[in-house]
Amino acid sequence: MKKIILVLLLTPLILYAQHSKLNLECKTCHSCDIPTKENPCLGECPREELIRINQKPEEAPRIIKIDRIKETNLYGPSIFDHYAHSDMSIMSGDCRICHHYNPPGNIISCSKCHSPQRKRIDISKPDLKAAYHRLCISCHREWSGEIECISCHKPAGMQEDLTLKSINKKSIHPEIKAPIKKVYNTNFTGGKLVTFYHEEHNKIFGFECSDCHKNESCVKCHATNKSALKQSPAILHSKCNKCHDTEDKKSCNLCHSNVEKPVFNHKQRTGFDISKFHSELKCSRCHVTKGKYTGLKKECKNCHGIWTTDNFDHKVTGLILDETHVEFECENCHTEPTYQERSCNNCHDDKSYPQNKPGKVVKR
């Protein structure tokens, strides 16, 4: 009994702790002064401000049979592939595009706000049937023009097919093949072509799909009429201007050119060759300021700190220093901050690199 009382006492505290992260006034959601679990006296759904769901597609059910609405006997329930839809939603606004209201905690069911009955007192929000249909049909209509009931429902009385052919597949959506490069043909007179290396942004610059494809509608890929999707320069620029300055008139030709541009070359652009040791690294490992990639000094200690004989194993360079040389400070041989130069002159008058080596060459 004591335990129960303790739990009861703590529940509001726990809830408060979750809610407090939201930076909201209690009155935003509750109409009374002391809301209880039994009577939360919730007001109108405040929608977007309150969405707190971060579930992975795998955490939700694979297939959902939507059969709560039975008022008309025209069509059977709809078998909804939740996985496929949630998997794709990452590119277009996440879970919230459907679960548009959810306080912290579990997913609340649609029928909590949307009445299963059409004849009801509060008509300010659509009933459950309409809430479902508005979500489904709006998208499906836009990308395939399909609004027929039978595209989702079997006629009433017919056995529905629960064994979706694709049920064993990870996703019914075919694997998305990201392009290696895309060449945009623009109207900009100073350079019509913009060569966009998609793979580079993805693999080297380390962007996740959803970093750029955030509020994509399904139509982006599924439209029957692609020309309708032609975007304005402002929209196209908005995808790039998080990192590239699209306002600065002087920097237009960084992307715009009359010929296709080659892949980004760090040495050519900045003078610092990264092909030898840093080619596998994501840019953000060194360029830590978020958003814009600012230049760094051409010094190793930008990232590595100051190397000493203790914290640097010279073997990684392909040369094991011999007993004599292993004791020296780095600067004795490498006289400049990129460690590119190898000089023997500090000690030797008659020796020079690479004819003479201060140790054994090994395969890197």
CA dihedral for 234, 192, 219, 87, sign (positive or negative): negative
Rounded Cα distance, 339 and 331, in Å: 8
Binding of residue 230 to another protein (CB under 8 A): no
CB proximity list for 163: less than 8 A, separation 6 or greater: none
In the complex, what is the shortest distance from the CB of residue 131 to another protein, in angstroms, rounded to a whole number? 8
Pairing of strands 193-197, 153-155: unpaired
Nearer Cβ to another protein, position 145 or 206? Answer: 145
In the complex, what is the shortest distance from the CB of residue 23 to another protein, in angstroms, rounded to a whole number? 21
The stretch among 134-142, 177-185, 233-241, 346-354 that binds another protein (CB under 8 A) is 134-142
In the complex, what is the shortest distance from the CB of residue 28 to another protein, in angstroms, rounded to a whole number? 15
Binding of residue 235 to another protein (CB under 8 A): no
Nearer Cβ to another protein, position 148 or 260? Answer: 148
The stretch among 11-19, 222-230, 245-253, 283-291 that binds another protein (CB under 8 A) is 222-230
Residue 354, preceding bond cis, omega within 30 degrees?
yes
Binding of residue 267 to another protein (CB under 8 A): no
Binding of residue 133 to another protein (CB under 8 A): yes
Given 45, 60, 64, 149, the residue binding another protein (CB under 8 A): 149
Residue 132: closest CA among 107, 149, 145: 149
Binding of residue 119 to another protein (CB under 8 A): yes
Binding of residue 228 to another protein (CB under 8 A): yes
Rounded Cα distance, 1 and 189, in Å: 78
In the complex, what is the shortest distance from the CB of residue 155 to another protein, in angstroms, rounded to a whole number? 8
In the complex, what is the shortest distance from the CB of residue 219 to another protein, in angstroms, rounded to a whole number? 6
Nearer Cβ to another protein, position 151 or 265? Answer: 151
| Count of residues in contact with another protein, rule CB under 8 A | 25
The stretch among 54-62, 121-129, 204-212, 328-336 that binds another protein (CB under 8 A) is 121-129
Please provide residue 81's backbone torsions phi and psi, each rounded to the nearest 5 degrees: -80, 95
Nearer Cβ to another protein, position 120 or 269? Answer: 120
The stretch among 130-138, 234-242, 286-294, 344-352 that binds another protein (CB under 8 A) is 130-138
Nearer Cβ to another protein, position 133 or 287? Answer: 133
In the complex, what is the shortest distance from the CB of residue 116 to another protein, in angstroms, rounded to a whole number? 12
The stretch among 77-85, 219-227, 275-283, 326-334 that binds another protein (CB under 8 A) is 219-227
Q: Residue 325 in contact with residue 361, Cβ under 8 Å? A: no
Residue 86: closest CA among 76, 94, 77: 94
CA distance to 74, 341, 352, per residue, from 330 (Å): 82, 11, 16
In the complex, what is the shortest distance from the CB of residue 151 to another protein, in angstroms, rounded to a whole number? 10
**What is the signed CA dihedral for 268, 269, 273, 274, rounded to 10 degrees?**
-130
Binding of residue 250 to another protein (CB under 8 A): no
Using CB under 8 A as the binding rule, the residues of this chain from 63 to 102 that contact another protein are 72, 74
CA distance to 179, 282, 361, per residue, from 203 (Å): 12, 8, 32
Footprint on this chain of another protein (rule: CB under 8 A): 72, 74, 118-119, 123-124, 126-127, 129-130, 133-134, 137-138, 141-143, 147-150, 219, 223, 225, 228
